[in-house]
Amino acid sequence: MVRSVAGISRKELERRREELLKRMRDEGINALYVASSANIAYLTGFEFIATERPFAAVLKDDGELVVLCPLLEAEHVSKYAYVDKVLSYPEYPDEKHPMLWFAEHLKKIGLEGKVIGYDADGYGQVMGYRGPRLSEVFKNAKYVYARDLIEELRMIKSDEELRILRESARWTILAHRLLQEYTAPGRYEDEISLAASAEATLTMIRALPGWRNLRALAGFRGQVGPHSYYPHSLSIHAVIKRGQVLVTGASARIAGYGVELERTLFVGAPGEEHRRFFNFMLEARRIAFENIKPGARCSDVDRAVRRFFKEKGLWNYWRHHTGHGIGLEVHEAPFFDVGDDRVLKPGMVMSVEPGIYVPNLGGFRHSDTIVITEDGYEKLTEYPEELDELLIEA
């Protein structure tokens, strides 16, 4: 059941499959069962809406790739996924639980008595799902937690993935530019976001015919004025006012991949305190970039930034690590965090976003997406970052 796949090429999907098969054989794993939607997309090129209905992909050591899915997705998978076989079940929860169907399907494809690696033993807690573990219903097999097999592969982006991420960056920059242009006092944050996102998305659709599920997003997510103090706010439907600090966010999704671009804007002339903390943020950011290079540990980058916060007496304004991996998921491994000692390698794609959060004043954060190169890094999201380039006329 080999189909053409929009976005990710068949050649790239075959490369991933072969690399994963090598790793499985090295670990003595006969089949890899994945239930993470990002891991499924990585293996099959298929994006889908994860619901309460269990969905999984199984890669066997003979190279056969099988999708286990609800009936409502079976034809969808057959049309768009690069797989060899699709096995379905009627519905969830139904009279016969999907995990019992999965057990029968695994028996049908010859996995009794085999070693099965998995990223989840069954299915995650999605939209009210409840059910047994896979190992409880398909007992005649040995199970091995094998999340790292595919995660380690996903951390190093291929040339094709990097081309897609660079394309994402181009449209992300457009979305952010439109957001900045449309921002004005008296407008709701929502109308600005909707206008910028819609225009950028429609421009993408016209420029990239034949691709599925293209979308650009840009907005403030409630990070307006003093409320920008909350790093992961939700929209408060704020009206933009003179004198406010704004923290933005923009991304463009292509073939399931996306980068991240964030900036700190000011409506009118910023006050002295705004300027002071903005400049501290730029300095923390500079320190982060100075420490990013192949061979360095992720933890060392974050440690250098944390040291800066402590030396400058800013620790009370620290809220999160310096950055994270990005690609199929908005946050993925590795992480610029003191708890992550993984070594930076060429092909890793990361956000860099040290932020400063001051109560009753606001948040100060730029975020850029970079790719680690042989001799340093390449910034994918080139966008103005100095204060005088980020002012909104009031």
Pair (142, 166) in one structural domain: no
Pair (177, 243) in one structural domain: yes
Pair (179, 78) in one structural domain: no
- What is the per-residue pLDDT across 216-247, written as a single tens digit (0 to 9) for each? 999 999 999 999 999 999 999 999 999 999 99
- The angle formed by the CA atoms of residues 146, 93 and 104, to the nearest 5 degrees, is 55
Interatomic CA distance for residues 352 and 360, integer angstroms? 25
Pair (149, 160) in one structural domain: no
What pLDDT score was predicted for residue 5?
40
Tell me which of 154, 170, 194 is where a domain ends: 154
Could you give the number of structural domains in the chain? 2
Whether 31 contacts 111, CB under 8 Å: yes
Q: Is residue 286 in some structural domain? A: yes
Pair (248, 372) in one structural domain: yes
Reported confidence tier of residue 286, pLDDT bands at 50, 70, 90: very high
Q: Is the pLDDT of residue 2 over 50?
A: no
Q: Is residue 1 in some structural domain? A: no
Nearest to 51 by CA among 129, 118, 133, 120: 129
Pair (192, 314) in one structural domain: yes
Tell me which of 104, 134, 154 is where a domain ends: 154
Q: Report the CATH number that the domain containing residue 116 is assigned in CATH.
A: 3.40.350.10
Nearest to 99 by CA among 118, 75, 78: 118
Buried b (16+ CB within 10 A) or exposed e, 182-214: bbeeeeebbebbebbbebbbebbeeeeeeeeeb
Q: Is the pLDDT of residue 294 over 90?
A: yes
Q: Is residue 5 in some structural domain? A: no
Pair (228, 356) in one structural domain: yes
Mean pLDDT, the chain, integer:
96
Q: Is residue 2 in some structural domain? A: no
Whether 249 contacts 221, CB under 8 Å: yes
SS3 372: strand
Whether 123 contacts 133, CB under 8 Å: no
CA distances from 295 to 230, 323, 336, 370, 372 (A): 33, 17, 14, 16, 10
Q: Give, rounded to a whole angstrom, the gap between the first and last alpha carbons of the chain.
A: 58
Q: Report the CATH number that the domain containing residue 358 is assigned in CATH.
A: 3.90.230.10
Reported confidence tier of residue 7, pLDDT bands at 50, 70, 90: confident
The rounded percent of the chain whose pLDDT value lies above 90 is 97
Q: Is the pLDDT of residue 147 over 80?
A: yes
Pair (160, 149) in one structural domain: no
Reported confidence tier of residue 4, pLDDT bands at 50, 70, 90: very low
Helix ranges, the chain (H)? 10-27, 37-44, 71-80, 98-108, 134-137, 147-155, 159-182, 189-207, 272-290, 298-311
What pLDDT score was predicted for residue 394?
80
Pair (300, 347) in one structural domain: yes
The structure tokens listed for 364 are 């100060």
Interatomic CA distance for residues 394 and 381, integer angstroms? 27
Q: Is residue 67 in some structural domain? A: yes
For residue 317, the 8-state DSSP code is G
Q: Is the pLDDT of residue 137 over 60?
A: yes
The alpha carbon dihedral of 79, 83, 84, 86 has a sign of negative
Reported confidence tier of residue 6, pLDDT bands at 50, 70, 90: low
Lowest mean pLDDT among 1-5, 147-151, 181-185, 387-391: 1-5
The alpha carbon dihedral of 178, 184, 186, 189 has a sign of positive
Interatomic CA distance for residues 20 and 227, integer angstroms? 45
Pair (120, 237) in one structural domain: no
What pLDDT score was predicted for residue 207?
96
Q: Is the pLDDT of residue 151 over 50?
A: yes
For residue 240, the 8-state DSSP code is P
Pair (41, 132) in one structural domain: yes
Pair (147, 175) in one structural domain: no
Q: Is residue 40 in some structural domain? A: yes
The structure tokens listed for 342 are 């993984």
What pLDDT score was predicted for residue 3?
39
Tell me which of 115, 131, 154 is where a domain ends: 154
Find the domain containing 149 and state its range. 10-154
Q: Is residue 4 in some structural domain? A: no
- What is the per-residue pLDDT across 46-84, written as a single tens digit (0 to 9) for each? 999 999 999 999 999 999 999 999 999 999 999 999 999
- What is the per-residue pLDDT across 188-203, written as a single tens digit (0 to 9) for each? 999 999 999 999 999 9
Q: Is residue 3 in some structural domain? A: no
